[in-house]
Amino acid sequence: MAGGEREPLRKLQDHYFKQAKAEGYRARSVFKLEELDQKNHLFHRGMKVLDLGCYPGSWMQFAGKKVGAQGLVVGVDIQELNLSLAANMAFIHQDIFKLDLATLAQYALRWDLVLSDMAPSTTGNRVADSERSFALCSLALDTAQLYLKKNGRCLVKSLQGVAQERLLKRMREEYTKVKNLRPQSTRKESKEVFVLGIGKKGEEQHDNDIIGTL
């Protein structure tokens, strides 16, 4: 291998990459979720969790353990998930742009926690990448507005800069408390940040009202 090719590979296979592999997780991003959970108590037993952009599945693996047998973790991704799913997990192979209530209602009508680790394919153009990121974040927030319980939580990955500012503005309108988070395991050169909305505002929707819209 040429010297120039060695550096990126070394960076990719960093400490977290190796640790994820050793612990049987599908991706190093599990440690971001673990750290966010340790500091913000995202999970509890019996929770229903919707994981948007779940492939290759490390967040599902982690969330599945945290919510336990009485809980539920449903992942959605445009990529097929070749992960053996525990009894408390399910996968929807779909573009989030096309996700609807009828599909989600097969699993649950309302959710306790919506996670979005969705990332757009980047172009290298700062403005275009920011727009794409914001579009995905907006969809995650739309999904949370529709299906998250009152007082529920929503964690969304964004990019630092304009996209993040717009995301924060919207989330402050929709959640009682909003936190800007950057886990230590995020690569130094990465522009990603996470925004956590705590306490979804608004009225609780009753099951019959939701079913009526089906």
Residues that bind ligand SAM (CB under 6 A): 26-27, 29-30, 53-59, 76-79, 95-97, 117-119, 136
Cβ nearer to ligand SAM, comparing 30 with 156: 30
Nearest approach, Cβ of residue 209 and ligand SAM (Å): 27
The residue number with the shortest CB distance to ligand SAM is: 53
Residue 48 appears among annotated catalytic residues: no
Cβ nearer to ligand SAM, comparing 128 with 211: 128
HSE-CB for 17 with a 13 A CA cutoff: 7
Cα–chain-centroid distance for residue 211? 25
Cβ nearer to ligand SAM, comparing 2 with 102: 102
Beta bridge partners of 157: 194
Cβ nearer to ligand SAM, comparing 27 with 171: 27
Q: In what order do the strands lie in the sheet with 48-52?
A: 89-93, 72-77, 48-52, 111-116, 148-159, 192-200, 175-181
Element (DSSP H or E) covering residue 103: helix 101-104
Nearest Cα to Cα of residue 141 among 162, 128, 158, 123: 158
Strand-strand pairing, 72-77 and 111-116: unpaired
Catalytic residue among 157, 169, 188, 200: 157
Nearest approach, Cβ of residue 109 and ligand SAM (Å): 21
Nearest approach, Cβ of residue 114 and ligand SAM (Å): 13
Element (DSSP H or E) covering residue 203: none
Nearest approach, Cβ of residue 40 and ligand SAM (Å): 17
Q: Could you count the other beta carbons within 10 Å of the beta carbon of residue 115? A: 29
Enzyme catalytic residues: 157
